[in-house]
Structure 1
């Protein structure tokens, strides 16, 4: 699976461009991030809530990779780390997270959440 972060507000997954946050499952399925779940609870989608994370636990994975945005604004709340206990969790600015995604793809089952703006 190939991913690129050409810049603020856009991400390209296997040649398809998205202009919204995405979740990439280990199977390669891509869906729009359900950030309203966090926003409704915390008033911002920059706090990655446990309830939102539960929505993405549809496939088994080894690594939860979070692209925190161009400026690193998205953060996983502590309850999220407890929910995925025993799994590797990596949080990086989205550009770096894309590099890590490319490095891990094919070697590990990666569940990736990419915030594509701030």
Structure 2
């Protein structure tokens, strides 16, 4: 579960992260870099697609600056993975709710912009 989020920082299991990250099968994958900084492609979430969660929560940044390429949506639909892309603060709330409901949820979070 994510303990806190503020612009540029996220706290998980007592550790503070200051770079974009993913959460897959309850494990943090820190220092997440994407093919293009503010555009998400399926190769950027290949490890999430392989883990095949029930739900993927995408944090698009504090102000929603990161967008999804159409191929991401197609890949998630093809794999029958439900998803929601929201500004990161709202995405954290959704991720935590799904986590508490014991869903197999993954997260991909842009921490700034």
Name the TM tier (shorter chain). 0.7 to 0.9
Equivalent residue for 1:2? 2
Report Cα offsets for 1:70-108 as digits up to 9, x if no partner: 100111211011111122110111111111111100421
Q: Does 1:66 align with 2:58?
A: yes
Output the CA distance in 2 between the equivalents of 1:2 and 1:10: 11
After superposition, residues 48-59 of structure 1 pair within 5 angstroms as 48-59=40-51
Q: How far is the alpha carbon of 1:33 from its aligned partner?
A: 4.7
Q: Does 1:46 align with 2:25?
A: no
**Following superposition, which runs of at least 4 residues in structure 1 exceed 4 angstroms of deviation?**
none
Task: Indicate conservation of the 8 Å contact 2:4/2:12, yes or no.
Answer: yes
The size of the alignment, in residue pairs, is 110
TM-score normalised to structure 2 length: 0.88
Residue 71 to residue 13, structure 1, CA distance change in 2 (3 Å): same
| Unaligned segments of structure 2, at least 5 residues | none
Residue 33 to residue 53, structure 1, CA distance change in 2 (3 Å): farther
Q: Which among 25, 35, 52 is matched to residue 33 of structure 2?
A: 35
Aligned residues: CA RMSD: 1.5
Q: Does 1:94 align with 2:88?
A: yes
Report Cα offsets for 1:37-56 as digits up to 9, x if no partner: x12xxxxx100012212243
Q: Which among 93, 108, 111 is matched to residue 106 of structure 2?
A: 111
